[in-house]
Structure formats: structure tokens, C-alpha cells
Structure 1
């Protein structure tokens, strides 16, 4: 019985410390996302993120990783739709997939830059990161231009998915802009 009580309190203590450790991460996400372009999306996506997020830099990295993941998923979704699309839709989807691919490339460059921030080149690196994320947003917006003439379910579905990618990318840019020196 004494062993059980000791075991029970050990488990309780461990779970309490895990909860205490998790709280700053949630607090960081909520306080950082408060003034983001899409605060609800920011809080939702980053509070679900699996990985270490205890600093603003880690949060910005997480936001970029979420954006990359969403963009890749959207690109794969577009590729799957092309098989069933009519000729006009196929052309728009091909162009859109290419734009989203460019967005992924820019986001990956940003991720690499943010991982290697250095005090001496911080401003330059931040300028690069901001430029690449802005270009990714432009690519995502340009993707939708090809669908303006197309009616039906594909346009609405693609618009919803690409708009979601743009929202998480916009939030990532916001979080990057908030970073201070490494």
C-alpha cells in the first residue's frame, strides 16, 4: 500500500510539473498571436504544434514549419484534383501548384535563415527572411488569380485551402517581424 501511495504521488508530481512546463508555451503562443493578422488561426495552429516552443524565435520557426506543411498539403491536394479537372481547370491548377511550390521554396529558405541567426548579420538575415516570406505570400495570392474565371466547386475548394496557407504564412511573417537580436 505504501508503495502504491508513493507511486501515486510521484505520478501526480510529474504530471503537475509537465503542466507547469507546458503553460509558458501556451502563454507565449497566446501573447505572441494576440496582434497577428489572423490571431485565432495563429493560436490554433501554433498551440497544436508538436515540438519545442519556449522562445519567440522557436515560435517563429514553428510558424514557418506550419506554413510549409500546409503549403505542401495544398500542393498535393491540387495535384490530386488535376486528374478530374477539365482543361481550363487543369491549366489553372498547374499554375497554382507551381506558385505554391515557389512559396514552399521561399519558406524553406526562410527556415534555414532563421535557424542560423547571428548577431553580426542579424539585420541582413531578417531582411532576407521577411523578403522570402513576403514573396511566398505573393505566390499564394497569385495562385488564386488563375481561378477567377472558373466557376464551381474547384474554385471554392482551392480558394479555401490556399487562403488558409496564406493566413498561416501571414502570421509567420508577423512573428518573424517581432524577433529581436539572437
Structure 2
């Protein structure tokens, strides 16, 4: 009984001693991600999705841009899988079926552009910086266009499946927009 109390007191004391340093690190990390995300259109989404990168990215615009694109690739892959599954289920008919097929293609193109962008950002060169940033900006902008084009085929359509698809595609657009803003911030900061 005494041993249990001593262990409990020791645990509580250690937890209390550790708390100030943990919360300080958390506040500092929040400061980094909030600063990085301040240039994005969807700041809450940015902060939530990139907060785990705070300790490694700190104030480095290049790391934040890579993190933004990496997270966007993950979300885009998930939505692409969803679209492919929808295509395989063959539940949508007529115009909506054609639109799903188009969406799969558009999202695969968007993924290619995002992967190319991340590849360039991993090998930034001071002398090629402006050209590289131009390419990356173009590719991410193209990915946004692909995502928007996906929804065009469903214009005027209703139903649960369409609403769910539109919600997923729109969310990817938010992530991609944030990634573009982070790349633009890097481009303005310079090499």
C-alpha cells in the first residue's frame, strides 16, 4: 500500500515536472506552424494538417512547402483510391459514370504534377531556383485545375454519392491551394 502511494506520488511529481517543458515546446511548435500557414487560404486546415512538422520545419519555407505538398499527395491519393473504387463499383450510370472516369484521370494527372513538384523541391538549386519555382508553381496550379475539372462533370447533379464525391474533391482542392501558397512563400523568400 505504501509502495503504491510512493509510486503514485512519484508519477504525479514527474508528470508535473515534465508538463512545463512539454507545453513550452508545444507553444513554440504552434508558433512555427501558425507562421507558416499565415499565407494560406485555409489556415485552420493548414495548421491542423501540418502541425506535426513544426519541430523539423521550424522557420524553413522550403521544408514547409515540402510538407504541404507531401500532405496534399496523401490526401489526393486517398481521394483517387475512392474514385477508383467508385468506378469499379459501377453504381453511377450515364453522365455520372463518364464524369467518374474523367475524375480518375484528372486526379492521376494531379498526382503526377504533385510528385514532380515534390521531386524538384527536394533538389532546390540556388542557380536554378527561379526556374524551379516557376515549374513547381505551374504544376501545382495545374493540379488545382485538374481537381476543379473533375467536378465540372457533376454540375447540376444531385444525390448522396455526388455530394460525398464533391466534398472529397473540394477538400483536396483546399489542401492543394494551401500547398501552392506555401510554395509561393518559398519562391518569394528566395534560395
Normalised by the shorter chain, which TM-score bucket? 0.7 to 0.9
Q: Give unmatched runs, 5+ long, in structure 2.
A: none
Query: How far, CA to CA, are the matches of 2:46 and 2:164 in structure 1?
Result: 21
> Does 1:41 find its partner at 2:50?
no
> Does 1:71 find its partner at 2:69?
no
- Contact 1:68/1:108 (<8 A) preserved: yes
Query: How far, CA to CA, are the matches of 2:55 and 2:109 in structure 1?
Result: 26
> Does 1:181 find its partner at 2:186?
no
Deviation of 1:36 after TM superposition, in Å, equals: 1.3
Give the total of aligned pairs. 181
CA shift in 2, pair 1:117/1:94, >3 Å? same
Structure 2 match to 1:152:
159
CA shift in 2, pair 1:145/1:25, >3 Å? same
Task: Select the residue among 11, 24, 30 that pairs with 2:34.
Answer: 30
Deviation of 1:49 after TM superposition, in Å, equals: 5.3
Deviation of 1:51 after TM superposition, in Å, equals: 7.9
CA shift in 2, pair 1:33/1:87, >3 Å? same
TM-score between both structures, scaled by the size of structure 2: 0.82
Q: Give unmatched runs, 5+ long, in structure 1.
A: none
Question: RMSD of aligned C-alpha atoms?
Answer: 2.6
